[in-house]
């Protein structure tokens, strides 16, 4: 009994004869009616040869030769399907070899079967390459808006720092400068988080269509993701609030008791616990968007899908983060050097702490351009890996490939020939 939700992403819906029944099984179209046998006609007798053994007129059909059954070997368990039996199951006309399993159907960027690491990464890159008309405008516009706001906020933030760095600055001015700095940083982080949420929501819809081999547009992605945006914001805020509260419970007692060892111990407990929770709920965002669920149901779905495969998802997520960080560093570094040597007076000006070396428009705009380019490339890659991890886990646990095949319009997928 499969109680998992269906594939809620838009796509070609199955015909009435192929819609799932109430018990979760797919209804197959009724076979065409056979012509009635004429009564008393000797040509229609019970002595007809079995199907598949009709011979040409005037020839005698040869008796079928028994085929030797292969023994279980090379990891094959007794009772498993033998060679040539995978064709009808995957909509494939026949097995390519005696022992070869035919490739799974691939209507879009991934094959409809459990995915490996390389297929998940390749699927994310293939979506960016094939559907770039929808992917790049989304990330480019959001990254540009975020960086423009960040540059403006940092400009005034660095001005306050320059004032506070003077020799005759009193304690009150110093406290005000620190407060404005913290407030400006909070505004920048909030804008970046909000932009990331919008990108994640829209790209989730683009990747869900790419799995089915369907094209997307920016307007389609926005229309399909907009109803779930507020819930996605709530989910993100709950995760951030949970991380802060968990750190406060573990670290704050040591700080209040003026016990450095206790505070350090709480911090060392907080980090791995935070990583465990982050991986446990890493699939909550695609579950929320694609299943049209509520925030708490999305947390529960992610926990269920990750259960038993935490280390695998952790490894793939960590590798994706490392790749994204390396790509971002390679793109931003030249613009950072340009900011230092062309607009900030070089390393000597930075070492002297000159305000002009930090708050000039050129020094702020140059690295911002690098960040725009980097985020335009990195954000869809990371979002795509998360969505494909969600699809992979549902294929492994819930047989989502059957629903995806029907949504993609593949006929006879998952049926056995007979």
Q: How confident is the model at residue 186 (pLDDT cuts 50, 70, 90)?
A: confident
Q: Tell me which residue of 311, 309, 330, 318 sits closest to 392, measured CA to CA.
A: 309
Q: Does any domain span residue 341?
A: yes
| 367 exposure class (CB count in 10 Å sphere: 0-12, 13-18, 19+) | buried
Greater confidence (257 vs 26) lies with 257
Give the pLDDT score at 22. Answer: 40
Among 70-79, 98-107, 273-282, which stretch is predicted with the lowest mean pLDDT?
Answer: 70-79
Q: Residue 275 half-sphere exposure, CB side, CA atoms within 13 Å?
A: 12
Q: What average pLDDT does range 259-279 have in this prediction?
A: 93
Give the pLDDT score at 221. Answer: 93
Domain count, the chain: 1
Greater confidence (345 vs 364) lies with 364
Q: Residue 273 half-sphere exposure, CB side, CA atoms within 13 Å?
A: 15
Alpha helices in 39-170 (DSSP H): 117-130, 132-164
Radius of gyration of the chain (CA): 30
Cβ 10 vs Cβ 404: under 8 Å: no
Q: What average pLDDT does range 66-78 have in this prediction?
A: 39
The H or E element spanning position 409 is none
Q: Does any domain span residue 58?
A: no
Q: How confident is the model at residue 96 (pLDDT cuts 50, 70, 90)?
A: very low
Give the pLDDT score at 400. Answer: 92
Q: What average pLDDT does range 137-153 have in this prediction?
A: 91
CA dist list (Å): 208 to 190, 215, 265, 404: 27, 10, 43, 10
Q: Does any domain span residue 237?
A: yes
Q: What average pLDDT does range 248-270 have in this prediction?
A: 91
In terms of residue numbers, what domain contains 281? 129-407
With 60 as the cut, is the pLDDT of residue 300 above it?
A: yes
Give the pLDDT score at 411. Answer: 78
Q: How far apart are CA 230 and CA 193, in angstroms?
A: 13
CA angle 324, 120, 134 (to 5 degrees): 70
Give the pLDDT score at 363. Answer: 82
Q: Does any domain span residue 243?
A: yes
Q: How far apart are CA 400 and CA 6, in angstroms?
A: 8
Q: What average pLDDT does range 57-77 have in this prediction?
A: 43
Q: Which two tokens stand for residue 265?
A: 């111990």
Q: Does any domain span residue 102?
A: no
Greater confidence (174 vs 293) lies with 293
Q: How confident is the model at residue 324 (pLDDT cuts 50, 70, 90)?
A: very high
Residue 26, strand partner residues: 20
Q: How far apart are CA 107 and CA 129, in angstroms?
A: 16
Residue 20, strand partner residues: 26
Cβ 262 vs Cβ 252: under 8 Å: no
Q: Which two tokens stand for residue 230?
A: 């507020």
Give the pLDDT score at 39. Answer: 47
Give the pLDDT score at 72. Answer: 34
Q: How confident is the model at residue 191 (pLDDT cuts 50, 70, 90)?
A: confident
């Amino acid at each position: 009994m499969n109680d998992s939700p269906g594939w809620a992403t838009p796509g070609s819906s199955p015909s009435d004869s192929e819609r799932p029944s109430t018990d979760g099984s797919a209804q197959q179209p009724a076979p065409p009616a056979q012509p009635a046998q004429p009564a008393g006609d000797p040509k229609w007798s019970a002595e007809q040869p079995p199907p598949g053994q009709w011979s040409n007129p005037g020839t005698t059909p040869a008796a079928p030769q028994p085929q030797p059954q292969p023994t279980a070997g090379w990891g094959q368990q007794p009772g498993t399907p033998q060679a040539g039996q995978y064709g009808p199951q995957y909509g494939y006309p026949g097995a390519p070899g005696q022992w070869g399993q035919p490739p799974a159907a691939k209507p879009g960027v991934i094959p409809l079967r459990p995915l490996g690491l390389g297929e998940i990464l390749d699927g994310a890159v293939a979506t960016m390459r094939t559907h770039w008309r929808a992917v790049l405008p989304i990330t480019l516009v959001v990254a540009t808006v975020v960086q423009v706001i960040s540059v403006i906020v940092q400009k005034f933030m660095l001005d306050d720092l320059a004032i506070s760095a003077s020799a005759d600055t009193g304690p009150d001015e110093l406290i005000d400068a620190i407060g404005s700095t913290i407030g400006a940083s909070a505004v920048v982080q909030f804008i970046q988080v909000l932009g990331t949420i919008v990108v994640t929501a829209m790209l989730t819809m683009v990747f869900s269509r790419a799995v089915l081999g369907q094209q997307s547009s920016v307007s389609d992605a926005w229309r399909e993701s907009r109803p779930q945006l507020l819930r996605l914001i709530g989910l993100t805020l709950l995760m951030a609030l949970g991380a802060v509260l968990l750190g406060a419970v573990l670290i704050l007692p040591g700080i209040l008791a003026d016990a450095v060892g206790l505070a350090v111990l709480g911090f060392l407990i907080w980090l791995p616990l935070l990583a465990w929770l982050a991986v446990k709920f890493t699939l909550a965002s695609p579950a929320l968007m694609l299943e049209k669920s509520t925030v708490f149901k999305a947390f529960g779905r992610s926990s269920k899908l990750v259960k038993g495969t935490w280390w695998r998802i952790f490894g793939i997520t960590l590798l994706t983060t490392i790749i994204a960080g390396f790509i971002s560093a390679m793109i931003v570094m030249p613009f950072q050097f340009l900011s230092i040597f062309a607009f900030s007076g070089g390393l000597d000006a930075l070492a002297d702490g000159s305000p002009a070396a930090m708050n000039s428009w050129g020094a702020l705009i140059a690295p911002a351009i690098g960040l725009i380019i980097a985020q335009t490339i990195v954000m869809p890659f990371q979002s795509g890996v998360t969505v494909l991890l969600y699809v992979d886990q549902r294929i492994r646990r819930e047989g989502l490939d059957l629903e995806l095949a029907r949504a993609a319009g593949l006929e006879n997928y998952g049926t056995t020939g007979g």
